Chains A and B, each alone.
Chain A
Amino acid sequence: MTYLIMKLYMAYAVALDNKGRFVKIANLGYKLGQKVTDVILLEDRSTSPRKNIIKQLTLFAAIAASFLIVAVSIWQLNFVTFGHINLKINPEVSIAVSRTRRVLELEGLNPDGVELIEGYKFKGLSQTKVTDDLVDMAIERGYLSDGGEISVSIASENLKWRKKTAKILGEDLQKHLVDMDVSVVLNTSYEEIDDFEKGESATIIIEIPINKGSITNPDDGDSLYDDGDSDYDDDGDSDYNDNGDSGYNDNGDSDYDDGDSFYNDDGDSLYDDGDSDYDDASG
């Protein structure tokens, strides 16, 4: 680009480039009418009031959009139903939970279920707190006792979430029912098109050794730990040891060594009563 020097000022010069633009350049001792090629152009970063308003509006719109995205994300994580947990003791209750496992809705699926949840304030509570409370209420009202069974179904379109939820629930119930002989059966519904058709369900056994209760699923023998995706490593936090409480020994009472044998509890042997059946006939 060639510049024709048109006017000289103290601090700058006005030049005409050969594309027809008049520009302000640094005056490095130029002369009027001189043609130069290598110039230092003035950088005009000042903006008109109109441009300033547009800039401010753009900034405001960007902030508002960011805020909206964050708000929507938080709302989706906490207030949109991501899955359902069906708790079946005898009272049957459906629990709608968010992705972050906050309870959003409770619904009694049979008359006992409706009665069980009546007056219970669950809004904003975690799923473990609600399931624990429902189990306690079921025990109080005589629905659940030793030898009973809790059937838990977990449904969601997200397999990973479902597995994680099952694990959390299983461990929580194991801890909560440590003094009772209750078995927990976990069912997780598959709705992934890849593996199963939507609505089809499968059952999963979670083998978590507990004191008296057991958590099993009798149907397909498919372990949660065999799908190539380990649930233990995705949060970097071991779920088994974070409370420092082992499920095996916290009551000091072993299941196998309670000192009470079926065969010897009356001190009377069936075989050695000292009385022969054959001698009576001879007399």
Chain B
Amino acid sequence: MQGSQMIVQKVYAAKKDNNAADDLILQYMGFIKSETSKFTGKICTGNEDEFSISMFAFYEAIVNYDKNRGNFIAFASTAIKNRLIDYSRKEKRHDGNISIYVASDEDSDEQNLLDTVPEDSNVLKYQDQKIAEEEILEFERQLNSFGVSLSDVADNSPKQQRTLDSCHKALRSAYENREVMDKFITTKRLPLAELTALSGVDRKTLERHRRYLVAILLAYSNGYEIIRGHLNQIFLVKRGENK
């Protein structure tokens, strides 16, 4: 009885704290591997996609667990099983697909399909990948100086389209006002009063998504071209609409 209460406490702590979530996942690594093996019928080495899915499902179980739903382990076991079923179904759908590493011409083994993909595709070259990695790490460092982590931002990101649009409206008004952007960078605080006044968006909506607003505004403050390039359509398209 006491043991199950301990687990519940740990799960509730892991909901709020990423380190606690990682600790819990490490503690139950054996269980996660065992559930994966049960499903695949093979020994789980920890390198399979199925194992990654099981860990993700375990984390999902932490996020969605409610103590009124009964035993956490049974809940997590069901969550893992369901995710693995979904994944295996999805994989079956791709069974007929050809790998990009397969030779494009049967007579030639020099060129594979990956080489035929155009330069501007989503597959980044190693150099580009390194630049992107460095930019993102710098962005994360800056974000942490605002007291915000990327995991917090993901939790705080608007889920409904209407709320997302409201947040973007407030962000656009700040982006177009140099003073507001400067104040944001120097004080490392979100100028909520100015954002509300400039955009007309309800202050409570902005307060509720403060960490998300900080992250996006930071991405538009200086540099971060790769992130900004990825987000280009948020501001550039709608900027024209406002004028």
Bound pair (A, B): yes
Interface residues of A (CB under 8 A from B): 2, 4-7, 9-12, 14, 16, 18-24, 26-29, 31-37, 40, 42-46
Q: Is the CB of B140 within 8 A of A7?
A: yes
Q: Which residue of the partner chain, among A16, A23, A34, A40, contacts B124 with CB atoms under 8 Å?
A: A34
Which residues of B are found within 8 Å of A20, using beta-carbon distances?
Answer: 164, 168, 216, 231, 234
The reply on B198 being an interface residue by CB < 8 A is no
Which residues of A are found within 8 Å of B59, using beta-carbon distances?
Answer: 11-12, 42
Which residues of A are found within 8 Å of B231, using beta-carbon distances?
Answer: 16, 18, 20
Which residues of A are found within 8 Å of B58, using beta-carbon distances?
Answer: 11
Pick the interface stretch among B49-57, B100-108, B111-119, B173-181.
B49-57
Interface of B is mostly: helix
Task: Give the CA-CA distance A249 to B212 in the complex, in Å.
Answer: 92
The reply on B122 being an interface residue by CB < 8 A is yes
Residue of B nearest to A36 (CB): B122
Given A7-B150, A14-B154, A26-B53, residue A33 in contact with residue B122 (CB < 8 A): no
User: Measured between C-beta atoms, what is the minimum distance from B88 to chain A in Å?
Assistant: 13
Q: Is the CB of B52 within 8 A of A9?
A: no
Q: From B25, B60, B122, name the one whose CB has the most chain A CB atoms within 10 angstroms.
A: B60
Given A6-B140, A18-B230, A31-B129, residue A26 in contact with residue B63 (CB < 8 A): no
Given A16-B231, A46-B63, residue A9 in contact with residue B136 (CB < 8 A): no
Given A11-B55, A14-B153, residue A43 in contact with residue B60 (CB < 8 A): yes
Which residues of B are found within 8 Å of A28, using beta-carbon distances?
Answer: 49, 52-53
User: Measured between C-beta atoms, what is the minimum distance from B237 to chain A in Å?
Assistant: 11
Q: Quick one: CB contact mask for B19-63 with A, threshold 8 Å, 1 for yes?
A: 001100110000000000000000000000100110110111001
User: Measured between C-beta atoms, what is the minimum distance from A14 to chain B in Å?
Assistant: 5
Task: Give the CA-CA distance A19 to B161 in the complex, in Å.
Answer: 10
How many cross-chain pairs have Cβ atoms below 8 Å apart between A and B? 122
Residue of A nearest to B137 (CB): A32
| Additional A-B contact list (20), CB under 8 Å, known A18-B233, A28-B49 | A7-B136, A7-B151, A10-B22, A11-B21, A11-B22, A11-B58, A20-B168, A21-B157, A23-B154, A28-B52, A29-B49, A32-B133, A33-B129, A33-B130, A35-B122, A35-B230, A42-B60, A45-B64, A46-B63, A46-B65
Give chain B interface residues in 86-134, CB to chain A under 8 Å. Answer: 86-87, 122, 124, 128-133
Which residues of B are found within 8 Å of A35, using beta-carbon distances?
Answer: 122, 124, 230
User: Measured between C-beta atoms, what is the minimum distance from B118 to chain A in Å?
Assistant: 14
The reply on B227 being an interface residue by CB < 8 A is yes
Residue of B nearest to A47 (CB): B66
Task: Give the CA-CA distance A2 to B157 in the complex, in Å.
Answer: 17
Q: Is the CB of A27 within 8 A of B60?
A: no
Task: Give the CA-CA distance A11 to B60 in the complex, in Å.
Answer: 9
Q: Is the CB of A4 within 8 A of B64?
A: no
Q: Is the CB of A22 within 8 A of B164?
A: no
Given A42-B63, A43-B64, residue A33 in contact with residue B226 (CB < 8 A): yes
User: Measured between C-beta atoms, what is the minimum distance from A191 to chain B in Å?
Assistant: 54
User: Measured between C-beta atoms, what is the minimum distance from B53 to chain A in Å?
Assistant: 6
Given A11-B21, A42-B63, residue A6 in contact with residue B56 (CB < 8 A): no
Task: Give the CA-CA distance A34 to B150 in the complex, in Å.
Answer: 16
Q: How many residues of B contact A (CB 8 A)?
A: 54
Residue of B nearest to A7 (CB): B150
The reply on B194 being an interface residue by CB < 8 A is no
Q: Is the CB of A9 within 8 A of B22?
A: yes
Q: Is the CB of A42 within 8 A of B56?
A: yes
Task: Give the CA-CA distance A34 to B124 in the complex, in Å.
Answer: 7
Q: Is the CB of B56 within 8 A of A33?
A: no
Residue of A nearest to B15 (CB): A46
Task: Give the CA-CA distance A12 to B65 in the complex, in Å.
Answer: 17
Task: Give the CA-CA distance A12 to B18 in the complex, in Å.
Answer: 11
Q: Which residue of the partner chain, among A4, A24, A29, A43, contacts B230 with CB atoms under 8 Å?
A: A4
Given A11-B59, A21-B158, A40-B87, residue A31 in contact with residue B133 (CB < 8 A): yes
Q: Which residue of the partner chain, among A16, A29, A45, contacts B52 with CB atoms under 8 Å?
A: A29
Which residues of A are found within 8 Å of B159, using beta-carbon distances?
Answer: 44
Which residues of B are found within 8 Å of A4, using beta-carbon distances?
Answer: 132, 136, 226-227, 230
User: Measured between C-beta atoms, what is the minimum distance from A187 to chain B in Å?
Assistant: 64
Task: Give the CA-CA distance A14 to B233 in the complex, in Å.
Answer: 20
Give chain B interface residues in 136-161, CB to chain A under 8 Å. Answer: 136-137, 139-140, 150-151, 153-159
The reply on B215 being an interface residue by CB < 8 A is yes
Given A9-B151, A19-B234, A22-B212, residue A32 in contact with residue B136 (CB < 8 A): yes
